[in-house]
Amino acid sequence: MNNPSIESGKVPAALGAAHYRMVAELADAAPENVLDPATNPAVVLSAQSLTKRFSEGPLNVSVLQGVDLQIRRGETVAIVGASGSGKSTLLHLLGGLDAPTSGAVQLHGRDLAHLRAAEQGRLRNRHLGFVYQFHHLLPEFSALDNVAMPLTIRRLAPMECAEAASKILAMVGLANRMQHRPSELSGGERQRVAIARALVTRPDCVLADEPTGNLDRSSADSVFALMLELAQAHGIALVLVTHDASLAARCKRQLQLVAGRLVSVR
């Protein structure tokens, strides 16, 4: 796991490395049984005055200019915006995969910036599912093992992990692709594996970055319907970044990133 090859070279190396680091941290983390009660149990994820500026070398890009957001249990929120407006950047901050330049993110009332890496990893594993824009599946593992990974990290029994993973893979239409590695899957199949991995733990909140961007209309509709169904059945909040207006319209709230700020679309 120290020098992983990154799936098909499509992803920024830094984010790929961060993902592998996260997996390694989670693997080291002790299982968690009880969490401190949150200040307001209905709020899963909360962000205040988030700004993000990339300023490495000659680069100086101010992407987010003061984002406030609260995600409540079970609600569905679409985030739309032009390419380059900062949607992926915002999701990474909400998921603790990157740190804001200023402002704060709380997951169940706990400020991510104040937690040690292992504790942050444990909170993420327990409460968040993430569908990356470029999937970030582990190339050495089968679809089944990729989906089972968050449960394996929780140290559930291998049989239990495999059963849950195969059940959800079947739900996204991949019953006959479980032993395939990511390189042996189509783009849309990889996307569905990534969605299955985010949902398999029944997290409190799924952060999904263009989760159906590689799927044809009818697969996108049915996979998204499944995400909504699972979200509703298990009280999972869903934060969806999308360019697809018809998917955005199926969410309870629609927000748009404009000039680094979130505005309500309806």
Ligand X SMILES: Nc1ncnc2c1ncn2[C@@H]1O[C@H](COP(=O)(O)OP(=O)(O)OP(=O)(O)O)[C@@H](O)[C@H]1O
**Residues in touch with ligand X (CB under 6 A):** 54, 59, 61, 63, 81, 83-89, 133
Nearer to Mg ion, 81 or 103 (CB): 81
Q: Pull the structure tokens for residue 130.
A: 């993430």
- Asked if residue 191 binds Mg ion (CB under 5 A), the reply is no
Residue 129 and residue 197 in contact, taking contact as beta carbons nearer than 8 Å = yes
CB of 213 to ligand X, least distance (A): 9
Q: Which does 83 bind (CB under 5 to 8 A by kind): Mg ion, ligand X, none?
A: ligand X
88 binding Mg ion? (CB under 5 A): yes
CB of 212 to ligand X, least distance (A): 14
What does the block give as tokens for 10? 């499509």
Q: How far apart are CA 143 and CA 262, in angstroms?
A: 35
The DSSP output letter for 37 is P
Q: Which stretch binds Mg ion (CB under 5 A): 83-91, 124-132, 157-165, 258-266?
A: 83-91
Angle at 131 between CA 232 and CA 215, to 5 degrees: 85
Q: Residues near 225 by Cβ (< 8 Å), separated by ≥ 6?
A: none
Closest separation in Å from C-beta 51 to Mg ion? 18
Minimum CB separation of residue 98 from ligand X in Å reads 8
Could you tell me which stretch among 46-54, 87-95, 106-114, 258-266 binds Mg ion (CB under 5 A)? 87-95
Nearest-approach distance from CB 15 to Mg ion, in angstroms: 11
**Sheet with 237-241, side-by-side order of all strands:** 128-131, 205-209, 237-241, 76-80, 253-258, 261-264
CB closer to ligand X out of 39 and 55:
55
Please, what is the minimum distance in Å from the beta carbon of residue 183 to ligand X?
23
Decide which of Mg ion, ligand X, none touches 100; Cβ closer than 5 to 8 Å per partner kind.
none
d(CA 76, CA 251): 5
| 30 touches, from Mg ion, ligand X, none (C-beta below 5 to 8 Å by class) | none
Is 214 a binder of Mg ion (CB under 5 A)? Answer: no
Evaluate whether 165 touches 144 at the Cβ level (below 8 Å): yes
The residue type found at 149 is: M
Tell me, residue by residue from 94 to 133, as one string, x for binding to Mg ion by CB under 5 A and - for no binding. ---------------------------------------x
As measured in angstroms, the least distance from the Cβ of 243 to ligand X is 7
- For 74, 159, 220, 229, the CA distances from 233, given in Å and listed in that order, are 9, 24, 20, 6
Contact 153, 27 (CB under 8 A): yes
Select 165 or 262, whichever has its Cβ closest to ligand X. Answer: 262
Residue 242 touches Mg ion, criterion: CB under 5 A: no
- 63: which residues sit within 8 A by CB, 6+ positions away? 52, 53, 54, 86, 89, 260
CA–CA dist 115, 209 (Å, integer): 25
Beta pairing, strands 76-80 & 237-241:
parallel
Residue 146 makes contact with Mg ion by CB under 5 A: no
- Contacts to Mg ion by CB under 5 A: 88, 133
